Chains A and B, each alone.
Chain A
Amino acid sequence: MEILSMENVGFTYPDSNEEVLKSINFTIHKGDFIVLCGSSGSGKSTLLRLIKHDLAPHGDLQGDIYYKEKRLEDHSPIRRAKEIGMVFQDPENQIVMDTVMNELLFGLENMGYSTPEMNKKIAEMTQFFGLNGLLKKKTDELSGGEKQLVNLVSVLLLDPDIILLDEPTSQLDPIAAKEFIYTLERLNDEFGITVLIVEHRLEDLFTVAEYVMVMDEGRISYIDMPEEVVKKLINHPTLSRFLPSASRIFLNFSESNESKQIPITVKEAQGWLETQVIHPSKTMEKTRDVNKNILKLKEIDFQYVKRVPPVLHNLSLNVCKGEWHAILGANGTGKSTLLKIIAGLLKHQHGSIKYDGKKIKNNYHEIVSYLPQNPALYFVQDTLMKEYRMLARHFQIENANEKISQLLNQFQIYDLKDRHPHDLSGGQLQKAALIGTLLTQPAILLIDEPTKGLDPESKSRLAEVLRTLIKDGLTIVMVTHDVEFAASYSSRSSLLFQGQITTTEDTRKFFKENMYYTTTVNRITRKSNAPSVITIEEANEKWHVQKDY
């Protein structure tokens, strides 16, 4: 049964000549699981909001949107609110109540349900999603994954027929993101709820989705089964980065992609790999010359409150000059706390920190800079330029204007210099904040979760920028969940576990020895007859695939 369709939909924002959406046509059937992907600014979110009629942006809308064979605007607002549910990107800001129970009740009360009805619905849903333990909790005590689950459940309580999700997992750590996607799959399988999800993180979604819809510059370029989309996108200059690693590694090494089945999951890719004869090519493993330590942490203890177990205990870490050091670890292991201690924001109770062999007292900001998780909070002025000028004045930087222009040009955001920070996209904002942190010419840059909410393209651009900085002699300490990002770009990696750094190794070695906490490519190649690698780039270096014809 047809549930949603668009006919020749076009959309223009007010005060703009450019159409954000151009002649969109598609039909969604009941029970479909559809992934909508495309680079930032391709109009995905606008499309989603047009379907959620009551949140539609202002502007000029052409064409018709049909829901259950009637125009969207002809349905009653109550019916639209009930049957078309929407979950947003930021888990925090869409929660409006202080306890989980009240949050779940919020929508039900809006719909005017009676108390026994509400009790029944909530009992049912909490059982199904295992929320029992959370009901009485305060919403700000929940983890990101739990918050997003509460958001999903509070929408599901209204009994929707279709759920729209706008990058729901972009702020979550990989494990929570995976769980969230499997929850969606379960909803779709067991209740036939139609799912339309916009997402950048497609590694898992491609295996779950029935159809993939690709948007490019306001148009829908493809709607097809995942396998077909993989074939079509593989030669696309930017969108090919969105594909799952299993497919990318396959397509990298096989010439004819017409006849064969393209692997999407790890298992399928492993199957393909078994049929291949791969010789290690003669590449020399680059041996890094050991640099001297720039940052040395010794036996650090830290606890927030007395009587509560310490967050960090007996932690030691050495960071070498000019390296890109990634610190990985699950949620709540104290990664951000560690960064704050290095930045001098928190004072450790025991142990010592030495920069270049010396202790520092108060002038932290001359040595370390800190790029926060949410770069929007970095700015206090209303344009980028004002912010940089203020910093220049404050620190009496010489030739400030030249330096600022040079950095703006280097990061390709010169045109945005007079914009308000909030008008920038995630990637641009990050670069803008990065310029601010670099103005004081720190020796060490601390970065907290730089890839949160970025699409693959912005990620690789950010990595390029950071790489050039490393070449210029900067040392980067990065805290991240993003295994793939750390594996591709960092030079050394550490694992933070139970308040300690348990291992510090060269990134490639680090990931090769891990079984679960590692990249998809490594999981594919770990026990194969090919030399095990952690990224496609490494495979390109090390593999020599013998042609079987």
Chain B
Amino acid sequence: MVRGIQSFHPFVLLVYYVLIIIGLMLYQHPLFLLGALFLIGTFNYILDKGRELKKWGFMIGMMSTLIILLTPIFNRRGNQILFHLFDQPIMLEAVIQGIMIASTLVGILAIFVTFNIVLTPDKLLYLFSKVLPQWALLTMLSMRFVPLLIRKVKEMMNIQQVKGLAINQGSVHKRAKNGMQIMQMLLTNALEDSIQAADSMSARGYGLQKRSNYKAFKMKSKDWLTLGYLMGFAIILLFGWAKGDGVLQLEPVLETIMFSGSEYIYFITWLFLIGFPILTEGKEVIHWKYYQWKM
């Protein structure tokens, strides 16, 4: 999509993700977390109809079930005993805590799935190169040469296999020996190839002076605006958190789960912060529907 969430400057996106992850960890309140999970799920659905998330589904499910089951068994702090399991009291507070830890984890994992889709390697590398240009260059070089090396190993193994010197046959000793020989030759080959690569680099003036850095992304006014929006909401939320709103008190007395007073404001702010990608994507959808309708 040219416009939606992926069109924002990588830095803005990074800020968004950092804020959401911090938020998920700070706002330990069932309703806050539930709202977050719902919106993150929607975000995943909008991006790729939840295909990537499904791949992680099993792992996420297993982990959250384990946490929900195990926390009450090990955590015995609280006042309200629900029932006894093997003579151990199971506390309501601990059950709630288990659910909150689990949903925090699910939320973080699910937002990471979108992170992988939205912040593609080139965007990450761009951010990275701002801080450490030399390392970014090295990363880019290895992104080119590691696959090349792997391809060469495969080719060499094929050739050795036709020669009858396969490394997947024979005794362990023999396999290891053949494997080592292939490795050794591969290194010789790689060295030779890298001389050519180095020639081609210096032929294009590498190392003569300080390199400039191509800025593939520019902070547009839209990005600044968004950054302001995100930061503003974040400050409001941080303020709320410092006041103790949006965190469910478990001790000394269990707070009621329903919101009270200003908590409504923080809840809505929180939803707007997480839902920012959904808003931008939704705007695009409406925009297109309207456009087509007008045609």
Do A and B pair up? The answer is yes
- Mark B187-223 against chain A: 1 for CB-CB distance below 8 A, else 0: 0110011001101111111111111111100000000
Interface residue B255 (Cβ < 8 Å from any Cβ of A): no
Given A96-B141, A96-B200: A340 and B158 interface contact (C-beta under 8 Å): yes
Residue of B145, B197, B212 touching A114 (CB-CB under 8 A): B212
Contacts of A395 in B (CB 8 A): 164
B178: chain A residues at CB < 8 Å are 380
Which of B155, B163, B205 contacts A78 (CB under 8 A)?
B205
Residues of A within 8 Å of B193, CB to CB, are: 90, 92-93
| A255 to B139 alpha-carbon distance, docked (Å) | 64
User: Are A377 and B159 touching (Cβ within 8 A)?
Assistant: yes
Contact: B147 with A140, CB < 8 Å?
yes
Q: Is B144 touching A139 in the complex (CB atoms < 8 A)?
A: yes
| Contact assessment for B196 and A77 in the assembled complex, using a CB-CB cutoff below 8 Å | no
Q: Mark A318-349, 1 if CB is under 8 A from B, else 0.
A: 00000000000000000000001001110000
**Nearest residue, chain A, Cβ from B158:** A345
Q: Let me know if B204 and A81 touch, CB within 8 A.
A: yes
Given contacts A81-B205, A422-B192, contact A105 B162 (CB under 8 A): no
Q: Are A82 and B205 within 8 A (Cβ)?
A: yes
Across-interface contacts of A437 in B (CB, < 8 A): 163
Q: Write the B20-35 contact mask toward A (1 if CB under 8 angstroms, else 0).
A: 0000000000000000
> Given A370-B162, A380-B160: A85 and B212 within 8 A (CB)?
no
Cβ–Cβ contact B140 & A81, under 8 A: no
Q: Would you call A436 an interface residue if the criterion is a C-beta within 8 Å of the partner chain's C-beta atoms?
A: yes
Whether the pair A109, B208 counts as a contact (CB closer than 8 A) is no
**Number of cross-chain contacts by CB at 8 Å:** 142
**Closest B residue, CB atoms, query A372:** B159
Are B144 and A97 in touch, CB under 8 angstroms?
yes
In-complex Cβ contact of A115 among B148, B204, B215 (8 A): B215
Contact flag A81-B203 (CB < 8 Å), given A96-B197, A377-B159:
yes
Q: What band does the interface of chain B fall in when counting residues whose beta carbon is under 8 Å from A?
A: 35 or more
Q: A497 to B178: give the CA distance in the assembly, Å.
A: 37
Whether the pair B204, A95 counts as a contact (CB closer than 8 A) is: no
Knowing A94-B196, A99-B122, the reply to whether A112 touches B144 (Cβ < 8 A) is no
Question: Which residue on chain A has the smallest CB distance to residue B174?
Answer: A394
Type the 1/0 row for A86-112, where 1 means its CB is closer than 8 Å to any CB of B: 101010111111110010011111111
A416 to chain B, nearest CB (A): 17
When C-beta atoms are compared, the residue in chain B nearest to A345 turns out to be B158
Q: Is the CB of B214 within 8 A of A369?
A: no
Q: How far is the CB of B191 from chain A (nearest CB, A)?
A: 9
Nearest neighbor of B210 in chain A, beta-carbon distance: A112
Chain A interface (Cβ within 8 Å of chain B)?
Answer: 52, 54-55, 77-78, 81-82, 85-86, 88, 90, 92-99, 102, 105-115, 118, 139-140, 151, 154-155, 158, 340, 343-345, 364-365, 368-370, 372, 374, 376-382, 391, 394-395, 422, 436-437, 440
Please list 30 pairs of residues, one from A and one from B, whose beta carbons are closer than 8 Å in the complex, sorted by A's number.
A52-B203, A55-B199, A77-B208, A78-B205, A78-B209, A90-B196, A93-B193, A94-B197, A96-B197, A110-B209, A112-B211, A112-B212, A115-B212, A115-B214, A139-B144, A155-B203, A340-B158, A365-B162, A370-B163, A372-B159, A377-B152, A377-B185, A377-B189, A379-B185, A380-B165, A380-B178, A380-B182, A391-B163, A394-B165, A422-B188
